[in-house]
Amino acid sequence: MHIVNSYKTLFLFVALICSTIGFAQNNKQKQLESRRQELRREIQKINELRSEHKTKEKSELSLIEDFNYKINVLSNLIKVTNQQANLLSREISANQNHITELREELKQLKEAYADMIVKSYKSKNQQSRIMFLLSSQNFKQAYKRIQYIKQYSNYQKKQGALIKAKTEELQETNVTLLKQQEEKKNLIAENRITQKSLEKERKDHQILMQSIKKNLSMYASQIKQKQREAAKIDKEIDRLIKEAIAKSNAKAGKKASSKSFALTAEEKVLASNFIANRGKLPWPVERGVVRLRYGTQRHPIDNSLTIKSNGVRIATAKGAKARAVFNGEVSEILRMKHVNPIVMIRHGNYLTIYKNLSKVYVKKGDKVSTKQEIGEIATNPSNGETILSFILSKGRETKNPASWIYKM
């Protein structure tokens, strides 16, 4: 009985380890599936926006940005799908090994159980049991033999129940295995389609780049001009933020040269709530895709040039509205010659900035709430594109919006 108990303890320990590993793998599979569905939705949004703009003649830069973005999303989708397929392969292999082990265990259990039944049958008649008890040398031995008969009977029942449980586990594992094999088959089929789409995008991208390289100096000149215009707007935004900081400090009786806002008790609470919602803030548009990400990066047309992006550029549908990503106060509405209006919203010592609006629904000093529409995003009449430039900063220091906006 001591050996049997040791075996059971070992079995439970191994089962616990397998269960923990299985849970971790299942959790990883769920995460990968969630990411895969996100990427599929993103590709769908890209295709929808492309369809909306197909009647317009886009600039080469816009087309290159489109290709780069879709190629990146398609590559990520293939990567995630491959990870899922590889994880399923490991799970299938583990389940196949588990089935082999279960069959062997079941075989041994049935053989042992059959042997037990034969022995039990030979000593089953009442006379044999009575003689077994009467042959005891004393009362203590007789009592132990009664206990042994009971334990033996209980052990038989447990072995029978264990065989039943093992049989059911084997059947369930077989069903799981078939399901996993079907899932893997579907993932591989989907990846083939995605791979073809990626190859087409890369081919079209290559053809366009070959055409652009013929007039690279002209494009480089246009790019530099646009960068100078963007830098001019960013400089004006920085000046307004600097002024707002100086004003808040002067009002609080502090040095105007301070680099951060002087906050009232109410503004401190607002800033604290803004920070608490990091990674959970809603998008500044209801539907859109990020065309240009935050940070310094190589220019998609001319690798010798770099783009310093203080925020993100989001492509959306014509007539789309810009939305406040959090409660706050409109601190400034910037209007410059040949530049579409820009709205700045303050959230304590944080700011969100919404560039390229055709209509503005708010005015300076207005209190706004999360997801409130603050204006309509301008659509470029020449190419039909509707792009919102979005910046998030702490005082004058810009932050990566992808770290703050939900699933950006």
Task: Please give the pLDDT value at position 16.
Answer: 55
Residue type, 310: N
Categorize the per-residue pLDDT at 98 as very low, low, confident or very high, splitting at 50, 70 and 90: confident
Task: Please give the pLDDT value at position 127.
Answer: 47
From residue 229, alpha-carbon distances to 34, 224, 300, 336 in Å are 40, 9, 18, 11
Give the least confident one: 45-54, 147-156, 224-233, 287-296. 147-156
Q: Which two tokens stand for residue 236?
A: 């004006």
Q: Which domains does the chain have, with CATH numbers?
A: 2-213 (no CATH), 227-403 (2.70.70.10)
Give the least confident one: 123-127, 219-223, 398-402. 123-127
The C-alpha atoms of residue 285 and residue 325 are separated, in whole angstroms, by 9
N-to-C CA span, the chain: 60
Residue 150 exposed, middle or buried by CB count within 10 Å (0-12, 13-18, 19+): exposed
Q: Name the residue with higher pLDDT: 95 or 283.
A: 283
Other CB atoms within 10 Å distance of the CB of residue 72: 13
Residue 1 has pLDDT above 70, yes or no: no
Residue 57 exposed, middle or buried by CB count within 10 Å (0-12, 13-18, 19+): exposed
The single residue listed with the structure tokens 């702490």 is 394
Task: Report phi then psi at 67, rounded to 5.
Answer: -60, -50
pLDDT tens-place string over residues 57-73: 567 777 887 888 889 89
Instruction: Please enumerate in sequence order all residues whose Cβ is within 8 A of that of 36, keeping only pairs 6 or more positions apart, or say none.
Output: 77, 80, 81, 84
The C-alpha atoms of residue 99 and residue 104 are separated, in whole angstroms, by 9
The C-alpha atoms of residue 180 and residue 170 are separated, in whole angstroms, by 15
Over pLDDT 90: what percentage of the chain?
Answer: 43
Task: Please give the pLDDT value at position 129.
Answer: 56
Side-chain-side CA neighbours of 392 within 13 Å: the count stands at 23
